[in-house]
Structure 1
Amino acid sequence: MNRVQLHFTMLLALALTLILFGACKPQTKNEGFIVLFTSPDSQLIRAGQKSTLKRGQLVQKNDSIQTGAGIVDLQSLHGSLVRIQAYSHVQLTSVGSTQRLNLEQGAMVAKIERQSAEETFEVSNPTLIAGVRGTTFKVSDKGVKVLDGKVAVKPRLKALEKADEAAESPDKESLDPALAELARQADASEQVLEAGQEAVSEPAVKTVQQGPKSRSMTGASKVVTIADPNGIPRIKVARSSTDVRDLAEAETLVGVEPAILNDLAESQLPGGSAAAASNHNNPIPEELTEVLVKSYDEQRDVALDKLERDTLGKIEIKDDADIRKHYEIVESLHLHAGGAAIVGAVVAQAGDILVVHTPNGVKRLHVSDVNYIDYQ
């Protein structure tokens, strides 16, 4: 074997080694979300079983999160951020290059980081599907509001979802002709929302000719509008009002370094992503959770400083009338210590900190310091 052949053989062996090493290494990218923060009463629902949601936990396909009185912050393994608000139910229905969340109840805010043209992020509520590629938006069980960027919204049709579930690789060509036409109409009704716009779904209707109820009755027939269960719902787009709370939610939605997320994910899936089904309940290493909490709290505090300086600092609050003007409702936060109360408006919850705008300035309260809240 001459020197050239030997050199080629060594390069080939090295390449094969790298390929085999890469195949054996756990693949965790885009395989779910890491819990950055969770309120104590939030639950993880996995394979029908409920458990207390934990910081640092890996949430994967088909997992659901049910929040109580507080929030849950999540970060995907490629950087997208989600805040699930109080009394909400969200299921992660797809992972990989296309991530899908199904909001069954409540509301959530998402800040999407697109790393490639192939990556997409979808959120559905009971009536709409919102598809995004790099934006910040809010979804409730009523509609979709865009805070930054653009969001494509189309009707959510249960008939198409059932067809998708029945096929391993669903596409319009493999659908029944009637369903394929339904899918085409749904795509054709898609609306693209920009920042400052919101959308809701209105039921499909049709007009019918209605005559006298019986032969013995006289009178002309008339045209009436009735619900059309087989029609495509209409998407109604409107300008959205500027809500300081929505802006505050977006500004305080922060993440951590990807390396922290990957370490946590790999620690819970030692066999790699293929072993996900059998390794759902691996313990979360305490030292990794501590790194996560420290990084999250640091980023949150920076965001809170910016929120106070650039947004809330420009809003003058002198009395209850000003609170109602900017926030619609006055809240009295009764503290455990001494029974004192702070009057103002809760602008956002960022981790375990409540941001309260009062006539005496912006206050930061630890959630555990608040006994209860009265609304005026």
Structure 2
Amino acid sequence: MKRIPTHSENHMKKILLLILVSVTLSQCQKFAFWQNESKEDTSGAVVTFLQGQVTILNEGKERFASLGDLVKPGDRILSKLGKVDLQTYRGEIIRIKENSDVLFRDFAGSSKPNTDIYIWAGNLLVKSVKLKANETLSISSPTMVAGVRGTVFSFELEKGSVPKVKVYEGAVAVAFKTGPKLIELNDGLSQDHYDQLVKTLEENEVVLEPGESLEVNPSLNELVYLINAKMTASSLTKDELAGFSDISTGISKAESPITPQEKAEAETLVAVNPELVQKQVENNGASSEVTQEIVENIEKEHESKRNTALSNIASDAEKMGLDNEEEIQKHYSVLETIHKSNGEILSGAVVAQLGDIFIVHSTKGVMQLKVDEIEYVEYRNFKVQTKTKK
């Protein structure tokens, strides 16, 4: 029996359709994403937390990110070993993790309803605000677009792989980012394959809910990538299209329980007073004295809130009463050996880490350790060095 979509799913589909139209129009700008017809002074985000080195590119110019920096539409962020948290004027919090390449096509402001993020590679953790009917938050990759309605979720993309989306709170609608009209320009597909591809692309859209993740047909994902990358340049050949016969399935969702580590990291995605961010965006560097005061307040408030979050994570871990390796490994799905700088060795699991603080659940109890107190963390097959040995 065919399942009838719920009201919530129908609503998400309408939102996703609006986002897909917006993304398609933005692609027509041929990557000149900063060339907006109308300027929005309050369209932007502020760096509220920074770990390691992160680069911001704006119209070909590079600079290293620093706390309190403004990120505007058209800015691109590159992180290698760095990590950065942004808070938008509207209140979204976006964590860009290591080895990411992210472009901010647009930001919502006081009179702009859309935040539009494009990810070439990397890993994002996003906490959205509750959006109004006319507001959107979308994250797209070369092959997919995710539309968000007040949620916490991750979007991960490794080069040469399929996008990975997982929802912790709320709901995310995900669909392939292409359309039949693009394909009609090319005769490389047979009529049967063309009809099947169009049908699959039109029908494949899923709404992910908490504890669910995205599953993608790699073959169809690769085909969509080729279409999006080459069709506009009319360079897609019949040979490239040949062999893509496995297009009957596209995207689906699977159960993906939220791990204690994922839950803990989501809790560290803390917000500072929205007025601080809004004031910094509106100031736009006009007054260095105002900027300095705002940055100091952002740093102080974020540190206080993330320390509170880490303390709460440690407290929750203590309440579980796990005190042996078997129980710890079962709960966290990992067992690690933490080598401290003083020579002490702990057996357990790293629950969370932000800034220079690690939360470690060991057989000797739950501890908050500074990075300088840890020599390295040893896993079953590899080691993570936290500092250089002398």
The answer, yes or no, to whether TM exceeds 0.5 is yes
Structure number with larger C-alpha Rg? 1
Q: CA deviation at 1:186?
A: 4.0
Q: Assess if the C-alpha contact under 8 Å between 1:204 and 1:232 holds in 2.
A: no
Q: What is the aligned partner in structure 2 of residue 136 from structure 1? A: 152
Q: What is the aligned partner in structure 2 of residue 102 from structure 1? A: 118
Q: Residues of 2 paired with 1:95 and 1:183: CA distance?
A: 32
Residues 42 and 371 (structure 1 numbering): CA distance in 2 closer, same or farther, change over 3 Å? farther
Q: CA deviation at 1:371?
A: 4.3
Q: After superposition, where does 1:119-130 map in structure 2 within 5 Å? A: 119-130=135-146
**CA offsets per residue over residues 103-143 of structure 1, 9 Å max, x none?**
32232211110342221111124543210110111111141
**CA offsets per residue over residues 1-55 of structure 1, 9 Å max, x none?**
xxxxxxxxxxxxxxxxxxxxxxxxx9643x1221111112222233334332111
Q: CA deviation at 1:77?
A: 0.9
Q: Residues of 1 paired with 2:298 and 2:147: CA distance?
A: 29
Q: What is the aligned partner in structure 1 of residue 349 from structure 2? A: 345
Residue type matched to 2:71 in 1? V
Of residues 354-363 and 33-42 in structure 1, the stretch that sits farther from structure 2 once superposed is 354-363
Q: What is the aligned partner in structure 1 of residue 302 from structure 2? A: 296
Q: Residues of 2 paired with 1:352 and 1:156: CA distance?
A: 39
Residue type matched to 1:88 in 2? S
Q: Assess if the C-alpha contact under 8 Å between 2:346 and 2:363 holds in 1.
A: no
Q: What is the aligned partner in structure 1 of residue 358 from structure 2? A: 354
Residue type matched to 1:82 in 2? I
Within the candidate set 264, 272, 278, 1:248 is matched to: 264
Q: Residues of 1 paired with 2:149 and 2:130: CA distance?
A: 6
Q: Residues of 2 paired with 1:79 and 1:178: CA distance?
A: 41
TM normalised by structure 2 equals 0.68
Q: After superposition, where does 1:203-282 map in structure 2 within 5 Å? A: 203=218, 226-228=243-245, 234-270=250-286
SS at 1:62 equivalent: coil
Q: Assess if the C-alpha contact under 8 Å between 2:84 and 2:95 holds in 1.
A: yes
Within the candidate set 362, 369, 377, 1:365 is matched to: 369
**Is residue 200 from structure 1 mapped to residue 215 from structure 2 by the alignment?**
yes
Q: Assess if the C-alpha contact under 8 Å between 1:135 and 1:150 holds in 2.
A: yes
Q: Assess if the C-alpha contact under 8 Å between 1:128 and 1:201 holds in 2.
A: no
Q: What is the aligned partner in structure 1 of residue 330 from structure 2? A: 325
Q: Assess if the C-alpha contact under 8 Å between 1:40 and 1:52 holds in 2.
A: no
Q: What is the aligned partner in structure 1 of residue 72 from structure 2? A: 60
TM normalised by structure 1 equals 0.70
Residue type matched to 1:294 in 2? K
Residues 372 and 95 (structure 1 numbering): CA distance in 2 closer, same or farther, change over 3 Å? same
SS at 1:133 equivalent: strand
Structure 2, unmatched stretches of 5+, are 1-38, 158-162, 186-194, 221-241, 381-390
Structure 1, unmatched stretches of 5+, are 1-25, 161-171, 206-224, 272-281
**Is residue 287 from structure 1 mapped to residue 293 from structure 2 by the alignment?**
yes
Q: Residues of 1 paired with 2:219 and 2:100: CA distance?
A: 27
Residue type matched to 2:296 in 1? E
Q: Assess if the C-alpha contact under 8 Å between 2:211 and 2:257 holds in 1.
A: yes
Of residues 325-334 and 124-133 in structure 1, the stretch that sits farther from structure 2 once superposed is 325-334
Q: Assess if the C-alpha contact under 8 Å between 1:253 and 1:350 holds in 2.
A: no
Aligned length: 302
Q: Residues of 2 paired with 1:69 and 1:365: CA distance?
A: 21
Q: Residues of 2 paired with 1:116 and 1:44: CA distance?
A: 30
Q: CA deviation at 1:306?
A: 2.7
